[in-house]
Amino acid sequence: MPSFLQIVANTPLWVWPLMAFVLWLGLQGLRPRIIPWWRLAILPMVGLATSLAGIAQSAHPAWAATGWALALLAFLPLGWTFGQGRPVRLHPEDAKLEIAGGWFALVFGVSIFAVRYAMGVLFGVLPALRGEPFWICFSGAVGMIAAIGIGWLANLLWRARCSTLVAPCA
């Protein structure tokens, strides 16, 4: 088993700017701001893209897709719940969102990075695991991260839309 220093030394160089970008996005989420809706969607879409990439890279994409779909269904409500506590309001004149600061984006971004990094290290050190049914399904099950991000985003966008309506949303 390689040491921590060997793992870090053998990590491709492109990973570190990616980590810095994820941290930057997460730190932006700590402060209140007014942004276009698509900026709020960046990290959830990164989570979705990386989980779909995990399916595509799997030894058995159908098994990984099954794990992904089950994780997506199971964790969407959790993401929706995480979105509940964050105040958000739509500015109808320019369609931007006024959103309170919070920890979600930072924790979510680091989670995406950590899970993908850990899976990459695991499969790099023990490549035979790529063919094991449990690990194939688990690689798809990282869709739970995507589900949490999508649920969070959906809740915020729904509540932002409701903030401009005369009658409250159900």
Does the reported pTM lie above 0.95?
A: no
Task: Please report the pLDDT score of residue 170 as a whole number.
Answer: 63
Residue 26's closest CA among 106, 130, 138?
Answer: 106
Place 31 in a pLDDT band, splitting at 50, 70 and 90.
Answer: very high
First-residue to last-residue Cα distance in the chain: 54
Mean pLDDT of the chain: 88
Q: Is 33 buried (19+), middle (13-18) or exposed (0-12) by CB count in 10 A?
A: middle
Which tens digits make up the pLDDT trace of 34-72? 999 999 998 899 889 888 888 888 888 888 888 889 989
Which tens digits make up the pLDDT trace of 85-95? 889 999 888 88
Taking the C-alpha atoms of residue 81 and residue 153, their distance in angstroms, rounded to an integer, is 11
Task: Specify whether the CB–CB gap between 51 and 43 falls below 8 A.
Answer: no
